[in-house]
Amino acid sequence: MAIDFELTESTHEARAFYHALARDQMRPISRRYDDDEHARPQEWIDHYWGHVRGAAPRGGGRPGDGFVRTCIQAEELCWGDAGLYLRMPVSALGGAAVVATGTREQRDRFLGPFAGDGPPIWGAMAITEPAAGSDSAAIQTTARLDESTQEWILDGTKIFCTCGEGASQDPGGFVVVWATVDRDAGRAGIKSFVVPAGTPGMKLVGLEKKMGIRVSDTATLVFEGCRVPADHLLGSAEVKKRKADRGFKGAMATFDASRPIVAAMAIGVGQAALDLVREILEAQGMTLRHDAPPREQTAIERDVLEMEAELQAARLLTWRAAWMMNQGLANNLEASMAKAKAGRAVTHVTQKAVELLGPEGYSTRHLVEKWMRDAKINDIYEGTQQINQLIVARRVLDYPSSVLR
């Protein structure tokens, strides 16, 4: 089946819509919320929830354009500000887990409020723990069923929860928590649970101070005797010790959907830095010669052309992974390839942009130093560079995790 990298007219329109939103609504407040870490960007939240949701052009696309368009939205809005993008009131990773693992009834119940007209709400996912980072199968948070009340009781600590403040505190929000119902069963014992905002026993104990994406509410959540109804477990409660069932596989499948989005976010930040470099070079009278032989190009021209190539390669990998997702094709390899490539590309491009602009790039006169700080997280969350390269190697070589670690 062929992949067509030409965007439809409606997707081009959506791209222009989100670019204008990034330029007009996000860029003007970007520096303020980078300086005032953890301040709630209420004007952006209200604008997105009240005026932007569902307002982008939709009709006329090819079947399967949907997820590609989602990635384009992420790229354009992160061109505006990656931290503000993460503070959009959306179901996010929590919603992805519900879609991947939950029943149709659970999807309608937990995700329905995001289509309503109430106040802004968020979804989040709680995976990482102080002693369990990249190895999600090593989590220690437990869930036990109280037979008398038919409630699951969660105990444990989760760190680095993106949107954790909004999802755990604001009415209508929810957090999807990974916990083990049977430690002896390993991965097969890991299940996902939906914990609504304000549930007794779920406590927000802190927000991370970060190098970049500083407006993003990256939270630490503690669960102490936190009770949720039995039907808040996503998927089956059965533990199949010989093979991880849909619970763990479904949770892992959320990364196949989220990694192309993170790759697109990275591309947006890198494109912002590249655009600024071009703008300043052009203002200084320099024209980039794409048709000149490398031996005739200046060092700056070669650097900028390399930056362009890196971002375009990452973009095409990302669109390929997104297209496969739309087609219902397994994209585990392609999602990790896109994430790994984009993480390295944005780190290189933003650092090179600061370098090429010299003191102006290093100062706060422009946003490029912020973009360099924002960039690095894309090489870390949703699976580090090393983890994604390991996944790619396993898929290419057809080695199981027990052989290639």
Mean pLDDT in order along the chain per 10 residues (405 residues): 75 94 97 96 94 73 73 97 96 89 92 89 94 78 96 97 96 95 87 96 97 97 98 84 56 82 97 97 90 88 95 96 90 95 97 96 97 96 88 90 81
What is the token pair recorded at 260? 């192309």
> Quick check: 290 and 302 in contact, CB under 8 A?
no
Which letter, b or e, does each residue of 301-319 get, where b requires 16 or more Cβ atoms within 10 Å of its Cβ? bebbbebbebbeebbebbb
Q: Is residue 98 part of a domain?
A: yes
Longest CA span, the chain: 79
Which residue reads 């036990």 in tokens? 144
Residues 230/193, Cβ–Cβ less than 8 Å: no
> In which domain, by residue range, is 166 found?
94-242
DSSP H or E run through 221 = strand 218-229
C-alpha to C-alpha distance for 283 and 155, rounded to whole angstroms: 58
Task: Give the distance from CA 371 to its chain's centroid.
Answer: 16
Q: What is the pLDDT of residue 153?
A: 98
Number of H helices, E strands in the chain: 14, 8
Angle between helices 246-283 and 66-80 (to 10 degrees): 50
For residue 213, the number of C-alpha atoms closer than 13 Å in the C-beta half-sphere is 27
Does the residue 339 lie in any domain?
no
Spatial separation of the C-alpha atoms in residues 228 and 305, rounded to whole Å = 54
In a domain, 318, yes or no: no
Residue 344, both tokens: 């390295």
Q: Which amino acid does the sequence have at 63? A: P
CA distances to 60, 183, 315, 351 from 241, rounded to whole Å, are 47, 11, 39, 47
Beta strands, E only, 81-127? 123-126
Residue 238 lies in a domain: yes
Residue 214 lies in a domain: yes
* Nearest Cα to Cα of residue 182 among 130, 220, 136, 142: 142
Q: Name the residue among 12, 123, 29 with its Cα closest to residue 81.
A: 29
**Cα–Cα distances in Å, from 59 out to 68, 143, 387?**
14, 44, 38
pLDDT digits (tens, 9 = 90+) for 271-329: 999 999 999 999 999 888 888 888 888 999 999 999 999 999 999 999 999 999 888 89
Catalytic choice (76, 208, 334, 382): 382
Helix 246-283 × helix 368-375 angle, to 10° = 160
Under DSSP, the state recorded for 393 is H
What's the CATH number where 149 sits?
Answer: 2.40.110.10
Q: How far apart are CA 77 and CA 96, in angstroms?
A: 19
Alpha helices by DSSP H, listed for 207-292, are 246-283
Rounded Cα gap, residues 275 and 24, in angstroms: 16
Domains in the chain: how many in total? 1
pLDDT of residue 183: 87
Of the candidates 262, 267, 280, which has an alpha carbon nearest to the alpha carbon of residue 353?
Answer: 280
Is residue 44 situated within a structural domain? no
Nearest Cα residue to 75 out of 125, 116, 114, 19: 19
pLDDT in tens, 65-111: 788 999 999 999 999 999 999 999 999 989 988 988 889 999 999 99
| Closest alpha carbon to 262 in 270, 273, 274, 250 | 270
- Residue 292 tokens read as 């000149």
Give the span between the Cα atoms of 274 and 353, in whole angstroms.
7
Asked if residue 285 belongs to a domain, the reply is: no
Instruction: Flag whether 301 is in a domain.
Output: no
314 CB contacts (<8 Å, ≥6 apart)?
A: 263, 266, 267, 270, 338, 341, 342, 345, 346
| Annotation marks residue 308 as catalytic | no
